[in-house]
Every structure is written in C-alpha cells, then in structure tokens.
Amino acid sequence: MEKVGKKNKSSFKMIYLLEILAVGLLLVFFFPFVMVIINSAKSGTEVVLAPLSMPTDWGAFVRNVREILTRPNIDYFQSFSNSIIITFSSLLTIGVFSAMSAWVLVRTKTKYSFAIFMFFLAGMVIPFQVVMLPLVRLFQDLKNLTGIPFRDTFHGVILAYMGFGAPLSVFLFHGFIKSIPIDIEEAAIIDGCTKPQVFFKIVLPVLKPIFVTLLVLNGMWIWNDYLLPVLVIGLGGATKTLPLAVANLAGFYDKEWGLILTSVLMAAAPVLILFLFAQKHIIKGMTSGAVK
C-alpha cells in the first residue's frame, strides 16, 4: 500500500510539472500575439519608444484601422477579396484533385502507383527556396510557349499553390483512404455507379474529417503566405494579397509600425476564427486514418 501511495504521489507531481510546463509554453507562444494586440493601438513612434507598455489611448486602434482602409497603396478591400479568391480556389483545387489522386493510387496496386506516390512524397522534402527561381523561369517559359500570362494572375498563383500543396494532401488522403473498406465501393459499382460517381458520391463524403483538416491547414498557409505571392504576383501586382498589401507599409527608409501591426491583426483575424471553429476537426482528421 505504501508503494502504491508513493507511486500516486510521484504521478501527481509529474502531472503538476507538466501543467506548469504547459502554462509556461502557452505564455511563451502567446506573447507575440499579445504584443501585436498592444502595439496595434499605438502610433509608430510609441511602438518604437515603448513597445512593452500598454497603450495610452485605445482609440488609436480605430484610427489605425481607418487609415489602413483608406490608404490607396494598400487597397485593403481589393487585397482582401483577392486573398479570398486565391485561398478558396486553391483549397478547392488542392482538396479535390489530391483526393482523386490518392484514391486512384490506393486502389491501383501496381509498381507504377507506388512510384508515383513516392514522387508525391519527394515533394514534401524539397525546400521551397530551392525551386523559387525555377518557378519564375517556368512561368516565363509557359507564357512564351502558350501566350498565356502566369505572372500576376489568379490562375498562375492557384496553379503554384496546387503544386506545392498537393504532396502533403495526397499523403494524408492516402493514409485515410486505406482505412475505408473497398466493399462499399464495389457495392456501388454493382448498383451501376461509374467511377466518378463512386468517388464523388461514396468516397468523398467519407473523407470529410481529413478534408476539413487539410482545408484548415492549407488555408492558414495560403492566407498568410508572403514568399510565393511576392514571386508570382509582386508587391505592386493587380492581384496582390493581404500579406503583400501589408508589406507596402514597410518602406526602405520608414516603417509605420503602428499601421503594420494593426494590418497584421486584421489579416490574421479570419484565420484565427476559422481555426477556433475547426480545431476539433484537425485532430480528428489527422488521427482517423492512423489505424487501418
């Protein structure tokens, strides 16, 4: 009994230590977000002189928002709509085409299907910085070959996101689809369904948990991404996204930190709201295909 009591005490101590560690990590990771909120209600001078102090006038946040919405070099509403179009279209193409690819690769048991799957996995380990310049040259070559511009266009950005988002999506869909019994698909084929009908009416609804997970993960990446849009679109492009619009506030000689932090908070708000409502689906989708 004494040994059991000692084990219980040691386990409780370990739990307390883990809770303290978790609270400490929460404070560390939450600190930058708190700093953004605090400094978004300051002028640029106040941010530089007293970044850790509380704002003297919270009304400065409203003035910063008004300034951002009326700045012609930001064009917030146009940039916001561009981000919505690019993010929604990219998520739709990545999700549907990746699910179709993974389904075919799982149900087709050949050495070629395995090689293609490994090819997709290879895309996960190649850093984006390695293909930055080849991507720009590829788009230029495609324009010369087809006459269709791919720089500073919606279809060019969406095509790039589909290429970089497909490897992880195919990998997760592949693991999830392996846990789906093939009997339900065979039953649908016996009932007269074609291959497209089997996928869209039988398989795709079953993929909802992992589909939502990928929507959230890829959505946060695409919405907040800066490097790929600045290569494909450019800071002054007609289809510039919110991160590019925020970058226009940082000049070579002057950086308006109050407006920058306010615009960062405004741009991050939709993604934070999406994450809060969909976070339970992320864990569910990531673990659903773990056990076959």
* Residue 232 near residue 152 (C-beta atoms within 8 A): yes
Q: Is residue 22 very low, low, confident or very high in pLDDT (cuts 50, 70, 90)?
A: confident
Identify the CA nearest to 263 among candidates 68, 71, 77, 81. Answer: 68
Categorize the per-residue pLDDT at 290 as very low, low, confident or very high, splitting at 50, 70 and 90. very low
Please say if the pLDDT value at position 289 is more than 60.
no
Paired with 255 in beta bridges are 250
Q: What is the mean pLDDT of the chain?
A: 83
Model confidence at 161: pLDDT above 90? yes
> Which residues are CB-contacts of 207 (< 8 A; sequence separation ≥ 6)?
99, 173, 176, 177
| pLDDT band at residue 66 under the 50/70/90 scheme | confident
Concatenated DSSP letters for 278-289?
HHHHHHHHHHHT
Give the model confidence (pLDDT) of 140-160 as tens digits: 888 888 888 888 889 999 999
Between 257-288 and 208-224, two packed helices, what is the crossing angle to 10 degrees?
Answer: 160
Structure tokens at 290: 């773990």
88 pLDDT band, cuts 50/70/90, is: very high
pLDDT of residue 291: 45
- Distance (Å, whole) CA 205 – CA 199: 9
Q: How far apart are CA 175 and CA 288, in angstroms?
A: 9
Helices in the chain by DSSP H: which ranges? 2-39, 44-49, 59-70, 76-107, 111-125, 132-146, 154-177, 183-190, 195-197, 204-206, 208-224, 227-232, 242-247, 257-288
Domain ranges for the chain: 2-65, 73-288
Considering the domain 73-288 in this protein, what is its CATH number? Answer: 1.10.3720.10
Range 173-179 average pLDDT:
88
Residue with tokens 């991160």: 243
Which range has the worst mean pLDDT, 8-12, 84-88, 253-257?
A: 8-12
Q: Please write the tens of the pLDDT for every residue from 228-281.
A: 998 888 877 788 898 888 887 776 566 778 788 888 888 888 887 777 776 666
Q: Please, is 214 exposed, middle or buried when counting C-beta atoms within 10 Å of its C-beta (0-12, 13-18, 19+)?
A: buried
pLDDT on residue 279:
67
Q: Look up the pTM and report it.
A: 0.82
- Separation CA 159–CA 76 (nearest Å): 24
* Category of 45 on φ-ψ map: left (φ > 0), alpha (ψ -120 to 50) or beta: alpha
Report residue 292's pLDDT band, with 50, 70 and 90 as the boundaries: very low
* pLDDT confidence band for 83 (50 / 70 / 90): very high
